Amino acid sequence: MIGFLRGAIAACKAADSSRKSTPSYWLTLDVQGIGYDIQITASTANKLPAVGAETQIFTHLIVREDQMSLYGFPTLAERELFRQLISVSGIGTQVGLALLNSLGIQDLVKAIVSGNTRVLSLTPGVGTKTAERLALELKTKLADGRLAQVGTVSAVGNLLSVALQEELEMTLLALGYTPSEISSALTAIASLPILAKTQDIEAWIKEAIAWLSR
């Protein structure tokens, strides 16, 4: 599997305009001279830096008999939620992208966990029956799982971007720490001078684990 790609943005353009119900973009990422075409949501495209700038995208690879397709996400949490979505019968990749694009990760998780089919069915391509199936099959998984906790941990002010904080929380949750432990750790390390002006996620993870290991 290709977990993520880091490289320079070679191009980013809207996908087939005939699919207006599921707006998506094609991102071409130049990774050491190889161009990877990655399908992303319109909301992700809007957050990308300019062409030529370097960026990192978490990816999901689907291999079929006649083609290989890469789907890209700005955070690890969003990619994991996409995988949960397409595991539901009748939910394809385009509907999964549409749900993420229209609701965003936090509102989408809340709608599924609370069984709010009205909100889910507002997404183009998602009817009432599909919304009910989503809530039925994923409610317990997300309510009991770690994705439901992403975004609920106390914020660290303006020190980290939303995307990086989600990734930080997701990593620490995956390591087995509870939301309350993570909240305490982030509150404590946010005042460290070494982290005051850095967006280096590895530095934040290192300091958080060090604090939690005391």
Provide the β-strand partners of residue 99: none
**Which three-class secondary structure string do you get for 56-121?**
EEEEEEEECCCCEEEEEECCHHHHHHHHHHHCCCCCCHHHHHHHHHHHHHHHHHHHHHHCCHHHHC
Give the pLDDT band (50/70/90) at residue 141.
confident
pLDDT, tens digit, for every residue of 102-114?
998 878 888 888 8
Predicted model pTM: 0.73
Write out the H or E segment, with its range, that includes residue 40.
strand 34-41
pLDDT, tens digit, for every residue of 22-74?
568 999 999 999 999 999 999 999 999 999 999 999 999 999 888 899 999 98
